Amino acid sequence: MESLKERSRRNSSGKRKHTGSISTIDRPTKHLREEDNFSDGCSEVDMMPPDAAITSFEEMALGMEPERLLPTAALADSAEWQRTIESVVRNVVSIRFCQTCSFDTDSAITSEATGFVVDAEKGYILTNRHVVCAGPFWGYCVFDNHEECDVHPVYRDPIHDFGILRFDPKHIKYMPVAALTLRPDLAKVGAEIRVVGNDAGEKLSILSGVISRVDRNAPDYGEGYNDFNTNYIQAAASASGGSSGSPVVNIDGYAVALQAGGSTEAATDYFLPLDRPLRALECVRAGKPVTRGTIQTQWLTKPFDECRRLGLTAEWEDVVRKGFPKEVGMLVAETVLPEGPAHEHVEEGDILVKVNGELLTKFVRLNEILDDSVGKPVRLLLQRGGRDIEIELTVQDLHTITPDRFLTVCGASFHNLSYQCARLYAIAVRGVYVCEPAGSFRFDGMDKGWIIESVDNRKTPNLDVFIEVMKTIPDRARIVVTYRHLRDLHTMHTSILHIDRHWTSKMRMAIRNDETGLWDYEDIADPLPPVPVLPKKAQFIRLDHVSQPCATELVRSFVRISCAMPLKLDGFPKARKSGFGLVVDAEKGLVIVSRAIVPYDLCDVSVTIAESIIVEGKVLFLHPLQNYAIVQYDPKLVQAPVISARLSDEPMRQGSETIFLGFNQNLRVVVAKTAVTDITTVAVPANSTAPRYRAINIDAITVDTSLSGQCGSGVLADEDGTVRALWLTYLGDRAHGGKDVEYHLGLATSSVLPIVRQVQQGIIPKLRYLNVELHLVHMSQVRIMGASEEWIRKVEEDNPERHQLFMVRKVECGQSQVLQEGDMILSVNGKVMTRITELDVMYDKKELDMIIIRGCQEMRMKVPTVPTDDLETDRVVIFCGAVLHRPHHAVRQQISKMHSEIYVSARTRGSPAFQYQLVPTNFIMAVNGIKTPDLDSFLAEVSKIPDNTYFRLRVITFDNVPFVISIKKNEHYFPTMEFIRQGDTWKRQTYDGKLPHEGLESNIMVDSMDEMAGYE
């Protein structure tokens, strides 16, 4: 059989952050399927600046492993250093954590880093802010003796790269827990230091260095989270990924700084000074709020020579140099945000001389004054172009412009724009930010950075107004939304969105709770029922200038099909697909469309007629082999001259002239007169990394026009408009680089027509089929395999155009089959089988009478066919962020042994399944040693497991490698849910403990799901 292949973040240079890939640490490579490391287009790692000299923070999405630099340990440490290090390592912990969903500048992540105990009695751990996470966090820490303990955030700084986690010291039983003392005053140039932490998450590393600077500006990591308004400490320690949050200690064992980042263009590391972390720790210890003040201005330290160019007078320079003899620069305003306290008072380039009458040049003192003056006025003395400018400003509470809540509705998440984002783009801190652009609010183009301007023609300046507007919009409504991107605020975008309040019915507010470390969920409003749709009128376009008269009539038989999937099932890579379908019965509203557009029936189907009328559709039939689906819309709602296409029952011939009519990438009709170049049995390549639906055992038609490669939907027709073949998109494998390969081929209507006629009569076909994949063998091979001269003559007489037979290439797993791989089929029910279409008799036969050749021996046998009732997925369980269902048809086609009835189809980033490496294409065999052969037994066992406890899963890979993993259950963020098809509808239920109830209550979103074992 001819193969279709024969036919047809960051550029970060570095080291700062470790991917946190537990898989590459704790899992042998044999447990993972071979894959390409790439993104499927829904990834959050596409927005990084090119050629960043400074590395980005924690390459949060698995699979983005930075180049690791081998640590240089202090091999010749003195006895004093040895004693210090022995004391310090007991206080250092490895932190493994997840952010469960996208929030602010951070995406859903699974990663690991370092922290160290700063209060042994109360259980406080200091680490980086990008470890504590801006959004919902769950994780645990591992001490030096490998005792594990849950941690939760109690504080994350709005700006500076530090946060505080808390653990229960009582849970550490086998070693004394001590704490490191914070001494920011001991961080001095020339001081010898050690960085004690994880070496790429694999082991404890001790890296030596010497502090070279204490006054550098905060490093800029490009888009995303960045620290600012602080000086950083610089040293050469060559810290590698996973060392984020490591203590920087001196020879006396004091923590003098916090490891935070580094550059790979030089062996340089950047450490955060501990002045503000020490203050925050003292406030947290005392149970007091950590006040943070701001005037919404970013300052940079600039040397005196540059300050002079900006207008610093010699008199003020003399005063400053005498007051601070060791200083070499001053603070200069870099960015002043519109509408902030400093707006129209401070200008970019202003040099800060005094605050409240006090001369200062350092961030430490400026931050102290602002943090102690929240809600109070401060007086600034500035130098602007050689002139003294005195102003008085009221200090704003920084926490009020740092989001601590987010709204989830229609499959997407929103919060007020943060100071972090606003500062990056120098815009006002206002607007509704789409932190998880998914579901109904999945915009075209860039993944992140959208600001909602209006919804349903109503302005939405903030989250509260946005909530009130969304409460009034019924389910399945289509509304106008305007929005801008942070990178291009000059351009207003307008889209019409289809509101989904049925798959994700809850409108929920998540609010951060610093007492428990959790984000508490609150239901905001129930969905409004859909508004009844009224009939509408429309006219199709006319093709007056097309040379083929039949084209104008054929256009009236095409409608646009849009399909939105709430879950990723069956290995399908996309959450949305659209294309054109052919109306085969206008009176009943029947449309035939490619399965590359409608892959399964857990979806929303929209049908657009004449590019004017949009109505809902439903899936009636999915063909198991021939790559098409039949959907239905309500024709009573459509007052347009839709015409039923006339389908021919005559097969096409090679060389026949035909009219090609298709729709190109711009959704425009293109028409050409052409000829059929080939009709041959093809093999759509299987996707090895994630099995998904593919057409097999079909004859594909190709034509002699370049338009055929540009069009994914269309027909081949006679001059009178009779349709001879459908032009469909076939989803193939995934190429290197992450792009899904699609093939555009014709399917003869003579194969489709019998199914269409049954559906027209109200009968949903219950097909049977041979569960084998066939491929062509030519006569030279047939002779060698043992065919007699008589059979060769019969083949030549039966098909003068193609002297060929078919051989069994693969037998599907699961159902018993008398055919074996390598069998060559001579005849079916007494007919020589030289065309794949002659196998269509299997669809309504319980068994076939076949003559085959096996091992050079001719054999006659009765071959039973297999029902297709259970080929489509009709039940889905979501557990710990993993999407589980029975192995779908593509799995059975590609695997040789069915390990279990529980197949991992996808998983959500930031979930336990992602953290503990339950990867797609795995099969679950047992829970806590109890065999779970199917979903019922699996649900029975996992319902016995208390929340936040570990359990064991026995798992086997697609390639037959068994292993056991342990996973911690997390019902707060990832409850167990189930989708069950009942008739032509799907029922949803969520398990709350052991009792299921209706409703989808989870952060799980289809756009954050990975259907492949690779890491994004």
Instruction: State the distance between the two ends of the chain, measured CA to CA, in whole angstroms.
Output: 35
pLDDT at position 368, please? 95
pLDDT confidence bin for 273, thresholds 50/70/90:
very high
Beta-carbon contacts of residue 290 (< 8 Å; ≥ 6 apart): 155, 157, 279, 280, 283, 284
Q: What is the mean pLDDT of residues 730-738?
A: 82
Q: What does the pLDDT read at residue 71?
A: 37
Confidence at 544, pLDDT banded by 50, 70, 90: confident
Q: What is the C-alpha separation between 805 and 826, in angstroms, rounded?
A: 7
Of the listed ranges 20-34, 542-556, 659-673, 997-1011, the least confidently predicted one is: 20-34
pLDDT confidence band for 72 (50 / 70 / 90): very low
Full-model pTM: 0.87
Please name the residues in contact with 438: beta carbons below 8 A apart, sequence gap of 6 or more.
411, 412, 413, 575, 1005, 1006, 1007, 1008
Q: According to the model, what pLDDT value does residue 1016 have?
A: 36
Cα–Cα dist 865/846, whole Å: 5
Dig out the tokens for 156 from the structure: 């994350």
pLDDT at 801: 87
DSSP H or E run through 150 = strand 148-156
Q: For 268-277, what is the mean pLDDT?
A: 92
Task: Report pLDDT for 94.
Answer: 93
What are 198's two structure tokens?
């994880």
Query: Is a pLDDT exceeding 70 seen at residue 25?
Result: no
pLDDT in tens, 566-599: 999 999 998 899 999 999 999 999 999 999 999 9
What's the average model confidence in pLDDT over 66-95? 71
Give me the phi and psi of 836, to 5 degrees please: -65, -25
69 confidence band (pLDDT: 50, 70, 90): very low
**The predicted structure's pLDDT at residue 199:** 60
The answer to whether residue 20 scores a pLDDT higher than 70 is no
| Percent above pLDDT 70 for the chain | 88
* Model confidence at 70: pLDDT above 70: no
**Strands 2-3, 669-683: pairing kind:** parallel
As a whole number, mean pLDDT of residues 975-994 equals 84
Identify the pLDDT of residue 256: 96
**pLDDT value at residue 4:** 47
Q: In a 3-state reduction of DSSP, which class is residue 6?
A: helix
62-77 mean pLDDT = 40
322 vs 5, higher pLDDT: 322
Task: Provide the pLDDT for residue 266.
Answer: 61
CB neighbours of 825 closer than 8 A, spacing ≥ 6? 774, 805, 806, 807, 808, 833, 850, 851, 852
Task: Specify the DSSP element, H or E, that contains 906.
Answer: strand 903-908
Q: Which residues are catalytic?
A: 130, 161, 243
Predicted confidence band of residue 446 (pLDDT cuts 50, 70, 90): low
In one-letter notation, the amino acid at residue 676 is V
Q: pLDDT averaged over the chain?
A: 87
Phi, psi (rounded to 5 degrees) for 676: -75, 120
Burial status of residue 784 (CB atoms within 10 A of its CB: 0-12, 13-18, 19 or more): exposed
Token match 């319980």: residue? 846
Q: Which amino acid appears at position 135 of this protein?
A: G
The pLDDT of 123-146, averaged and rounded, is 94
Using H for helix, E for strand and C for coil, what is the string for 364-405?
HHHHHHHHCCCCCEEEEEEEECCEEEEEEEECEEHHHHCCCE
- Comparing 727 with 205, the larger pLDDT belongs to 727
- The confidence score (pLDDT) of residue 32 equals 44
Phi and psi at residue 602, to the nearest 5°: -85, 80
Share above pLDDT 90 across residues of the chain, in percent, rounded to a whole number: 74
pLDDT in tens, 278-292: 999 999 999 999 999
What one-letter code names the amino acid at 9? Answer: R
Model confidence at 1010, in pLDDT bands (50, 70, 90)? Answer: low
- Residue 993 pLDDT: 52
pLDDT digits (tens, 9 = 90+) for 406-417: 999 999 999 999
Distance between CA atoms of residues 951 and 677, nearest Å: 59
Residue 236: the pLDDT is 79
pLDDT at 127 over 90: yes
* pLDDT tens per residue, range 826-873: 999 999 999 999 999 999 999 999 999 999 999 999 999 999 988 999
146 contacts: CB under 8 Å, gap ≥ 6: none
User: Residue 716: CB partners within 8 Å, gap ≥ 6?
Assistant: 652, 658, 659, 660, 676, 701, 703, 723, 724, 725, 727, 746
- Express each pLDDT in 900-938 by its tens digit: 999 999 999 999 999 999 999 999 999 999 999 999 999
Tens of pLDDT, residue by residue over 379-424, are 999 999 999 999 999 999 999 999 999 999 999 999 999 999 999 9
In 735-784, which ranges are E strands? 740-748, 768-769, 772-778
Q: Which residue has the higher pLDDT, 546 or 649?
A: 649
What mean pLDDT comes out for the span 204-229? 88
Q: Which residues pair with 469 in a beta bridge?
A: none
Burial of 680 from C-beta contacts in 10 A (0-12 / 13-18 / 19+): middle
Is residue 83 pLDDT above 50, yes or no?
yes
Six-digit token string for 329: 């620069």
